[in-house]
Amino acid sequence: MRIGELARRTGVSTRSLRYYEQHGLLRSRRGANGYRQYAEEDVRLVSEIRALLGVGFTLEDTRPFVDCLRSGHDKGGSCPESVAVYQRKLAEMATLIYVADSMSYRTAGLMDDAAHALDPNAPDYQERLVRESIEEYTIEASALKVFGTETLDFVADEALQVLGGYGFTAEYPVERHYRDSRINRIFEGTNEINRLIIPATLLKRVGQGALPFTEFLEKVDREIAEGASWGSEKAGALEREYRAAEVSKRIVAYITRLLVEKSLASLKDKQQHLEILSNMIIEVFAMDSVVARTLALKGHGSESDDQLRLMMTKIYVAATHESVLDGARKLLANEFEGEELRKHLQLEDILPKIPMRTIAAKTKLAEALVAQGLGPVFLR
């Protein structure tokens, strides 16, 4: 059809149609007579652009919807990249994968280093290998099991949701990932058991004097009393996140000590308390790992990859340090009351506030994810 007919059928002026074309949103071909020719589906495409502009979209904002229609979808809004809510989901999926990846590589590296530090010819090599490069990392391994499998479940679940009904049918591969992912929270030690292992191992080590816990707690007391700031200039753009991870460690230490002092003997039976404490420990390990990794990778690879890693780190820490504090509040409220509770809740004052434009960051992250994938961002 010629441009005049397209204009008549869509109610859009020929001038606007040429403008859309200049911006690559509309494509024509030249007929034998040299006039622009448009396809039947361009009617729907132009109507979609017109409707979106009518509700306040900029011309550029309409591009994902146009691409979506062009790729064969019935509706411009049915592609993940064209829906803001999907952008949030994509950004959160990518962020959690990046965090899980950071925790895994960190732990594997520590285990490797511990193994390489041993003399393979020594008579006690096997025994030390198990003790120093495997058992030593019991807490990290349990944290990884829980965090990794729950990230997988979250990602598989959201991936299915993004595809809607298609996701649910066996024609698409996501339903299989959804079914397969579920077993991971059950075998290799259920996540409930792994959650119990974390605080139990921590307390056992403190009891054995294997961790410098007393010194750490004295330091924590001093720092809380002084309202000290635990920044690190080396953390640069992640200064606040570094501090949030450090403060969260102190909150975990403080709460652990209170629980031990209150009722060490019955603590092992307080599974709901231990579950919350365990989640807090996992979250601290996750924050610490992702901040460390993003700082370690800074300057390796492109500037834009650095920016994406910084964004994922900030998004994760902004949400997670609040979650650690929430766990602390729950445990305190369940154990104390009155003046004593109020005194312990002062702990809240030491946590940095991280106001962050997470919506803008998640949108940018999703756009990068759709445009280029995140392979290079995961640079190791």
Ligand X SMILES: Cc1cc2nc3c(=O)[nH]c(=O)nc-3n(C[C@H](O)[C@H](O)[C@H](O)COP(=O)(O)OP(=O)(O)OC[C@H]3O[C@@H](n4cnc5c(N)ncnc54)[C@H](O)[C@@H]3O)c2cc1C
Cβ closest to ligand X, residue 29 vs residue 187: 187
Question: CA of 72: how far to CAs of 84, 241, 274, 330, 372, in Å?
Answer: 20, 43, 51, 50, 21
Q: Single out the catalytic residue among 41, 135, 188, 218.
A: 188
CB 301 within 8 A of CB 376: yes
Q: Which residues pair with 37 in a beta bridge?
A: 29
Point out which span in 93-101, 155-163, 185-193, 280-288 binds ligand X (CB under 6 A). 185-193
Question: Binding residues for ligand X, how many (CB under 6 A)?
Answer: 6
Euclidean distance between CA atoms 289 and 143, whole angstroms? 12
Q: 284 with 252: CB under 8 angstroms?
A: yes
**Binding window for ligand X (CB under 6 A); candidates: 180-188, 233-241, 332-340, 360-368:** 180-188
Rg for the chain (alpha carbons), in Å? 27
Position of tokens 């390489």? 116
Q: Per-residue contact track with ligand X, 115 to 134, x per CB under 6 A?
A: --------------------
Q: Is the Cβ of residue 193 or residue 379 nearer to ligand X in the bound state? A: 193
On whether the CB atoms of residues 254 and 325 are closer than 8 A, the answer is: no
Residues of span 191-230 touching ligand X by CB under 6 A: 192-193
Bridge partners (DSSP) listed for residue 36: 30
Contact status: 187 vs ligand X (CB under 6 A):
yes
**Residue 269 sits in the site that holds ligand X (CB under 6 A):** no
Measured from the CB atom, the residue of 183 and 264 that comes closer to ligand X is 183
Residue number with CB closer to ligand X (64 or 148): 148
- The tokens for 163 are 């595809």
192 is catalytic: no
Q: How far apart are CA 225 and CA 182, in angstroms?
A: 45
| Binding test (CB under 6 A) with ligand X, winner from 39, 122, 186, 210 | 186
> Reduced to 3 states, what is the DSSP secondary structure of residue 54?
helix
- Give least dist CB 208 to ligand X, A: 23
Residue 191 CB, shortest distance to ligand X, in Å, is: 7
Stretch touching ligand X by CB under 6 A, among 187-195, 198-206, 295-303, 315-323: 187-195
Is residue 184 within the footprint of ligand X (CB under 6 A)?
A: no
- The count of other CB atoms within 10 Å of the CB of residue 96 is 22
Q: Cβ of 77: how many Cβ atoms within 10 Å?
A: 16
Residue 335 C-beta: closest distance to ligand X, Å = 21
Which residues belong to the active site? Answer: 188
Enumerate binding residues for ligand X (CB under 6 A).
183, 186-187, 190, 192-193
